[in-house]
Amino acid sequence: MTSTTYRIGGDREVRRLGFGAMHLSTEPGPDRDASLAVARRAVELGVTLIDTAHLYGEGANEELLAEALHPYPDGLLLTTKIGVARTGPGGDWKYDGRPTVLREQVEQALRRLRVERIELLQLHRIDPETPLAEQLGTLRELRTEGKIGRIGLSEVTVAELDLARQIVDIASVQNRYNLLDREHEPVLTACAEAGIAFLPWRTVAWGDSGKHAEVAAVAAELDATPTQVALAWLLGRSPVVLPIPGTSKIAHLEENLAAERLVLSPAHRSRLDRLTAPTG
């Protein structure tokens, strides 16, 4: 039986199937109202891991989640990401891991999320222009100060993960990964060996899973949707995998969470495993 929970950092238990908030509209009006309803419904349905980022609306996504869910129910973990800022030419977005920028984005996230501590903070991207030791050293200092609880990374290679772990404990990695895109298979393997939570994003290949004949066939045989098959495959891939599918519609949210109950037989899993060979 596949476990439905995981302890991030070895101590913070969450439901493995989470929710990515990136697609929630933050503009005033009906779309925002719908976004608030989706976030609240996710929690009603037992989601305990919600992913956001400074990049999503320059903090507007964080504010939306706070409006929808604060005061937060016990057990809910909101994870956010920092390290991308409008500090490029002309105010363009760029990777920016300078200590002053990271500290300011953490302070902003604390205010927007209305919390005193961010239980899981992830570096959205490694800034190639700032020494990694400075970036992670700043996060380690913020953890010592009690402003963050656990430190994660996003879009890293195995070599970058190894280097980061020499500087600070890493609780999670958030890389692009799904049934039809396994470029980061080696990173998942490294996380599994180290007991690091692996949060795949783009979990259902932008909804294209159903266009693959074999995925559609398995879905038909199980009376499920291709999206549910893709998520069930992820949940069965490794106990450290914590998918965070995102949507702006309650119907899709409910469809996604129902994937937790979908059982793939060894034969079905074998057919899906063969769709694309892991790279490494």
- For 57, phi then psi, to 5°, come to 75, 20
C-alpha to C-alpha distance for 188 and 166, rounded to whole angstroms: 18
Catalytic residue among 6, 56, 95, 177: 56
DSSP annotation of 121: E
Question: CA-CA distance, 151 to 89, in Å (whole number)?
Answer: 29
In terms of DSSP bridges, do strands 94-95 and 84-85 run parallel, antiparallel, or are they unpaired? antiparallel
Question: Has 177 been annotated as catalytic?
Answer: no
Alpha helices in 27-86 (DSSP H): 30-44, 60-69
Query: Where do the H-state alpha helices sit in the chain?
Result: 30-44, 60-69, 99-113, 132-144, 158-165, 185-194, 213-221, 226-237, 250-258, 266-273
Give the active site residues: 56
